[in-house]
Structure 1
């Protein structure tokens, strides 16, 4: 199991308002399947980030690219593997 950070950079603020409910519904379903570690918007309104839990980059990419925000061109996707460091 690996973690992948999907940064969703805002491209269209007005269209975002229309697509947002579908984006949240999509993530809720993935969250129920244990595929989301964390998610939320950036406080400056420039987009948001989702941390996906996946076995491979391809699986994470599939989930990220099928997000309604990405499919509808509302946000630009940037996906990177994220390593969690434990601080003691």
Structure 2
């Protein structure tokens, strides 16, 4: 397993974004149930660089890039066109996180 990070920025009005959040939370719960250990949150300032919307980050495990990409593309926020996003495989160089076997 490897760590992956999805970085996102909201691109729709808040009401439209907020309407999709319950489905997004259910999707995260399903990722947790399947063992991907998602950790998700939004930027504390709740403003995008252009003042157009909040952004956030999802850290999760996946076997490989293909699996990570497939999972991210199934996020209801992406399916509804609410965010601009990028996916990165993350290599830890300092500190520690739980091992994949835990």
Structure 1: stretches of 5+ with no match in the other structure: none
Q: After the TM superposition, which residues 39-78 of structure 1 pair with which residues of structure 2 at under 5 Å, given as runs?
A: 39-45=40-46, 46-78=54-86
Secondary structure at the aligned position of 2:29 is classed as helix
Higher strand share: 1
Give the Cα–Cα distance (whole angstroms) in 1 for the partners of residues 56 and 16 of structure 2.
15
Kindly tell me the number of residue pairs found equivalent between the two proteins.
88
Q: TM-score, normalised by structure 1?
A: 0.90
C-alpha deviation, 1:37, in angstroms:
4.1
Structure 2: stretches of 5+ with no match in the other structure: 47-53, 97-102
Higher helix share: 1
Q: TM-score, normalised by structure 2?
A: 0.79
Q: Which has the larger radius of gyration?
A: 2
